[in-house]
């Protein structure tokens, strides 16, 4: 199967691949990455199909071979203010702003960004496009590192294990401790934890930065 960016590569364009991590989580930022690869064949795959060790190894390869790469994020407070879709767009825009040289065309994983550039947003682009797969690896590794750091700030929630997603142990911690400043209060399980009077563990704790 021909990769989505193949004809743009053949035309000599710098193609930016964009993907995100953390869109469905209950806590932590949504993180996007953008990558411009030179034309070629690469071993990069959708980060969800890789082990943590594989992702870390391939992250180094992506950074080593890329013509440009960037990582951007949108904070939980921004997600609550503008919604997860717009926040995902903000994270992607912030990642794209870091690319030098700038992209001349974009491929995303079904994310229809507002851009003057030629854009392709097919489903499963993280499987078919090496540029998007590379971005998915950078986004996932960057977000996982953040969640490991946040686990030390908020040890009651198990962020190191579930990375903020709605696992059973995370929901149990929410029920017991209430949300912390990393939680997306507009998301239903978090809102319900507040509604039923659980105490907030965010008192006297630092705001998310």
Tens-place pLDDT, residues 146-178: 999 999 999 999 999 999 999 999 999 999 999
194 pLDDT tier (thresholds 50, 70, 90): confident
Annotated binding site for a divalent metal cation: 19-20, 109
Looking at residue 199, its pLDDT comes to 46
Tally Cβ neighbours within 10 Å of residue 149: 11
Q: What is the pLDDT of residues 113-145, one digit of tens each?
A: 999 999 999 999 999 999 999 999 999 999 999
Q: How many of the other CB atoms lie within 10 Å of CB of 100?
A: 9
Structure tokens at 35: 């990558």
Q: Pick the residue with more confidence: 116 or 193?
A: 116
Position 2 scores a pLDDT of 80
What is the mean pLDDT of the segment spanning 43-58? 96
Neighbours of 120 (CB within 10 A): 15
Task: Report the percent of the chain where pLDDT is more than 70.
Answer: 92
From CA 89, how far away is CA 171, in angstroms rounded?
Answer: 27
Tokens of 23: 């869109």
Supply the pLDDT for residue 193.
Answer: 85
- Please give the pLDDT value at position 196: 59
Region 183-208: what's the mean pLDDT? Answer: 66
| Alpha-helical segments (H) within the chain | 6-10, 52-65, 76-82, 84-96, 125-128, 130-153, 159-162, 168-177, 188-195
The upper half-sphere exposure of residue 106, i.e. CA atoms within 13 Å in the direction of its Cβ, equals 25
Given a cut of 50, whether residue 61 has pLDDT beyond it is yes
The CATH architecture assigned to 6-143 reads 2-Layer Sandwich (3.30)
Q: What pLDDT shows up at residue 209?
A: 29
Spell out the domain ranges in the chain. Answer: 6-143, 150-195
Q: How confident is the model at residue 208 (pLDDT cuts 50, 70, 90)?
A: very low
* Binding site per annotation, positions: 19-20, 109
Least confident of 73-77, 89-93, 193-197, 204-208: 204-208
pLDDT at 150: 98
- 202 pLDDT tier (thresholds 50, 70, 90): very low
Confidence tier at 1 by pLDDT (50, 70, 90)? low
Averaged pLDDT score across all residues of the chain: 93
Q: Show Cβ contacts of residue 62 under 8 Å, excluding neighbours closer than 6 positions.
A: 35, 44, 69, 134, 137, 138
Compute the Cα dihedral for 101, 10, 48, 55 and give only its sign.
negative
């Amino acid at each position: 199967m021909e990769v989505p960016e193949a004809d743009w590569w053949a035309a000599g364009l710098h193609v930016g691949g964009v993907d995100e991590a953390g869109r469905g989580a209950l806590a932590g930022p949504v993180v996007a990455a953008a990558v411009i690869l030179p034309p070629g064949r690469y071993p990069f795959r959708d980060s969800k199909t890789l082990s943590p060790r594989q992702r870390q190894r391939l992250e180094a390869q992506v950074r080593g071979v890329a013509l440009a790469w960037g990582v951007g994020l949108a904070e939980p407070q921004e997600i609550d203010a503008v919604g997860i879709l717009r926040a995902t767009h903000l994270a992607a825009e912030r990642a794209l702003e870091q690319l030098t040289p700038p992209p001349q065309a974009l491929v995303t994983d079904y994310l229809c960004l507002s851009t003057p550039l030629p854009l392709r947003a097919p489903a499963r682009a993280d499987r078919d496009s090496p540029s998007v797969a590379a971005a998915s690896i950078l986004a996932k590794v960057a977000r996982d590192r953040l969640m490991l750091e946040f686990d030390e700030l908020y040890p009651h929630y198990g962020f190191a294990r579930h990375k903020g997603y709605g696992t059973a142990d995370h929901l149990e911690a929410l029920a017991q401790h209430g949300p912390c400043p990393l939680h997306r209060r507009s998301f239903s399980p978090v809102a319900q934890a507040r509604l039923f009077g659980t105490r907030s563990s965010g008192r006297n704790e630092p705001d998310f930065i």
